């Protein structure tokens, strides 16, 4: 039973009648919005900034709140006060990609189990495939953002995103399909440690998902040294903050999904809940290390790496699984 089902059942039992459904939907969205905001502000964002600082022999956030826990919150409040400036060459739909980016992150939090297979906000059948579809939209959003911005650097970013999506999206889809073929296309029914049986798939999926969420060292779309801000270069204020907070959330969501698919899934007890989050934080820590310890490849190196090594590796693993 999902969180939405629990809320709906409780409200319906208290005599709200035909208003039970809309009230339940509103309350569920509020819970999802709170989770979507809290994760980047107080969890993933703070952890990444502290780990990155330690790698670079710095202390990271220390003054805003205990241990600097409120630093991201203060940064978000400051960003809300910034003016939203629109480039005179920008399209009328200039703000749409930023809104869609935040919406995709919100929807991902709605369907991915939160540490327990019965703790998902919405219980959707075949939610593994739905998750891939939502991740695929991220590439389209980046392309639209680059085109609508009316900026040459953003246009280059859009081009890179299209090439990169074509190279890595099939790898992630094939990895997901093989896991679903052998196990299930629903997060709630995946409970085996697939990394032991399919290590090549795990490697392919991790590399592919890092590229899809445009995270370092594979963040060629938003390469600061080359493209300044990538497809988001013309955004400011809140419309810049939504994708920025979404980046922290996506890294955390990717860690959760990897834990479900390859490290034993989400259980149903308290101990399983604790173990799930330990595994998730370990994967998230690995993603942080990969971002801050390894240099960013050139776009041609990244595409060659995909087509010459990762894609054949994934096909080989698919053949092995099919033969077994």
Residue 95 lies in a domain: yes
Residue 9 lies in a domain: no
pLDDT at 19: 77
Residue 180 belongs to domain spanning: 82-323
Nearest in space to 157 (alpha carbons), one of 173, 144, 168, 175 = 144
Q: Tell me how many domains the chain contains.
A: 1
CA distance 263 to 89: 48
Angle, helix 20-38 to helix 3-13, in steps of 10 degrees: 140
Residue 27 lies in a domain: no
**pLDDT of 87-140, one tens digit each?**
777 778 888 888 888 888 888 888 888 877 777 787 777 788 888 888 888 888
Listed as ranges, residues in the chain with pLDDT below 70 are: 1, 324
Residue 101 lies in a domain: yes
pLDDT at 1: 65
Residue 243 lies in a domain: yes
């Amino acid at each position: 039973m999902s969180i939405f089902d629990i809320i709906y059942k409780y409200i319906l039992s208290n005599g709200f009648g035909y208003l039970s459904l809309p009230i339940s939907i509103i309350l569920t969205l509020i819970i999802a919005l709170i989770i979507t905001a809290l994760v980047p502000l107080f969890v993933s964002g703070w952890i990444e900034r502290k780990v990155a600082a330690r790698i670079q022999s710095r202390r990271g956030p220390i003054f805003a709140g205990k241990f600097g826990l409120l630093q991201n919150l203060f940064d978000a409040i400051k960003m809300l006060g910034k003016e939203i400036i629109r480039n005179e060459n920008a399209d009328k739909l200039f703000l749409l990609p930023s809104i869609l980016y935040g919406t995709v992150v919100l929807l991902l939090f709605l369907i991915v189990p939160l540490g327990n297979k019965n703790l998902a906000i919405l219980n959707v059948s075949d939610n593994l495939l739905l998750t891939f579809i939502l991740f695929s939209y991220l590439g389209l959003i980046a392309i639209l953002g680059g085109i609508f911005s009316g900026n040459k650097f953003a246009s280059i970013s859009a081009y890179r995103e299209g090439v990169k999506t074509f190279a890595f999206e099939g790898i992630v889809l094939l990895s997901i399909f093989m896991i679903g073929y052998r196990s299930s296309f629903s997060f709630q029914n995946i409970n085996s440690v697939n990394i032991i049986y399919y290590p090549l798939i795990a490697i392919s999926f991790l590399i592919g998902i890092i590229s899809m969420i445009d995270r370092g060292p594979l963040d060629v779309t938003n390469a600061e040294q080359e493209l300044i801000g990538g497809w988001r270069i013309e955004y400011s204020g809140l419309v810049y903050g939504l994708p920025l907070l979404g980046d922290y959330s996506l890294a955390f969501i990717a860690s959760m999904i990897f834990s479900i698919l390859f490290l034993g899934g989400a259980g149903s007890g308290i101990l399983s809940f604790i173990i799930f989050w330990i595994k998730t934080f370990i994967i998230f820590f690995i993603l942080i290390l990969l971002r801050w310890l390894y240099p960013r490849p050139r776009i041609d190196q990244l595409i060659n790496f995909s087509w010459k090594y990762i894609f054949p590796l994934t096909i080989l693993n698919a053949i092995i699984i099919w033969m077994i």
